[in-house]
Amino acid sequence: MLNEKNALPLPGALPEPGFYYHYKHDPDFRKPGVKDAHIRNYAYRILGSIGFYTEDNGPEDKYRVNYLPLYPWAPVYVAGLELGRIVEDNRPLSMFMEKVPKGTNGEMIPRFTKITDTDLIARLTELEDEQYSVFSPR
């Protein structure tokens, strides 16, 4: 796993930190009692950190992308509430960066798409702050 200089093998492209939608995001989604559910569902903040699986055995793709769900019904967020700590989602880097089929024609689209709309980013930032304010310290 380590090369002769005792360094980790470097991955290819990395996602930039920021807000992303998963390909399952539905802008028409509504959830009773949840403010802004239509912009929160399958919305995530990709963190600046990258994980690495350090054991020699295990998955081929050792790098992990760490991120927080921005919808309060996400199982990872609910688990965090039960544990009293922030629980991060993570997935293999290759899976995060891959394209997946969507729709009846099987069009290949990115699994995650970076959100670039500044008004939407501002609103998601507010929602994230509100959602994760229950954890102290953050």
Which amino acid, residue 108? M
CB 82 within 8 A of CB 76: no
pLDDT digits (tens, 9 = 90+) for 13-70: 899 999 999 999 999 999 999 989 999 999 999 999 999 988 878 788 889 999 999 9
Hey, what long-range contacts does 57-62 have (CB within 8 A, 24 or more apart)?
59/92, 61/92, 61/93, 61/94, 61/95, 62/1, 62/8, 62/9
Instruction: Say how many C-beta atoms besides its own lie within 10 A of residue 72's C-beta.
Output: 18
pLDDT digits (tens, 9 = 90+) for 29-38: 999 999 899 9
pTM over 0.95: no
For the chain, helix (H) and strand (E) counts, in that order, are 4, 7
- Name the pLDDT band for 4 (thresholds 50, 70, 90): low
Bond into 137 cis (ω within 30): yes
- Give the DSSP H or E segment for 82: helix 75-83
